[in-house]
């Protein structure tokens, strides 16, 4: 899927995540009052997010841990170990299940750049939880200023192909026994 470029200097839609300044955390944004996203925070960044009221960090990085970075803070940690090049349904469902546990939040989700894996999970949150359209979520993912890398067409294809109703049901119920994909309706641009 290829989205058209944003037109000129169109103002940032108010419902998109709000950029925020967080010492030690680049690419930081507030998605909702209880959900933040960023690039890999430093120890200082983790402390700053804790001061903002974040209670739980979801690290989406495949090869790096935040265990040392959250030591000495009040932050709880979940590490999902997601491959950018191979998105798995069970990872998306697991992240969304965690984000639905409001008693465990507010939350921070992050990956290395805060753009691609984090962007995917943010888009899926928008679609599954907030009931945004795929097109609106993809527009924010690609044009929201988070640094989405166009090389990850598989992320766009995942959002385009996923069966949203099946993901919603899986988030609310037991883990799925089969992938939650739908038949491709649009070709992915190369």
What pLDDT does residue 63 have?
86
User: What's the number of domains the chain is made of?
Assistant: 1
Which candidate, 95, 99, 58, places its Cα nearest to that of 75? 58
Q: What sign does the dihedral 61-131-156-3 (CA atoms) show? A: negative
Which candidate, 16, 19, 56, places its Cα nearest to that of 39? 19
CATH number, domain containing residue 25: 3.90.190.10
61 located within any domain: yes
pLDDT single digits (tens) 12-49: 899 999 999 999 999 999 999 999 999 999 999 999 99
1 located within any domain: no
pLDDT single digits (tens) 142-154: 999 999 998 899 9
User: 4: pLDDT confidence band, cut at 50, 70 and 90?
Assistant: very low
CA distance 60 to 80: 5
The answer to whether 134 and 157 have CB atoms below 8 angstroms apart is no
55 located within any domain: yes
User: 184: pLDDT confidence band, cut at 50, 70 and 90?
Assistant: very low
Q: What is the pTM of this model?
A: 0.86
Which candidate, 157, 152, 149, 122, places its Cα nearest to that of 15? 122
86 located within any domain: yes
Question: Does residue 176 surpass a pLDDT of 80?
Answer: no
Mean pLDDT (the chain) is 88
What pLDDT does residue 116 have?
94
């Amino acid at each position: 899927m290829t989205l058209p470029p944003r037109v000129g200097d169109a103002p940032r839609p108010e419902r998109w995540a709000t950029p925020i300044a967080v010492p030690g955390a680049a690419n930081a944004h507030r998605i909702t009052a209880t959900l933040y996203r960023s690039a890999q925070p430093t120890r200082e960044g983790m402390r700053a997010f804790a001061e903002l009221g974040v209670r739980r960090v979801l690290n989406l990085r495949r090869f790096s841990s935040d265990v040392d970075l959250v030591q000495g803070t009040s932050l709880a940690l979940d590490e999902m170990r997601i491959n950018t090049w191979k998105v798995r349904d069970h990872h998306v469902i697991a992240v969304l299940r965690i984000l639905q546990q409001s008693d465990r939040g507010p939350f921070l989700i992050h990956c290395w750049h805060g753009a691609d894996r984090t962007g995917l999970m943010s888009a899926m949150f928008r679609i599954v939880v907030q009931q945004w359209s795929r097109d609106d979520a993809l527009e924010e993912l690609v044009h929201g200023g988070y640094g989405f890398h166009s090389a990850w067409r598989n992320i766009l294809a995942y959002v385009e192909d996923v069966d949203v109703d099946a993901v919603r049901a899986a988030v609310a119920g037991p883990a799925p026994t089969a992938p939650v994909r739908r038949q491709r309706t649009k070709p992915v641009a190369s």
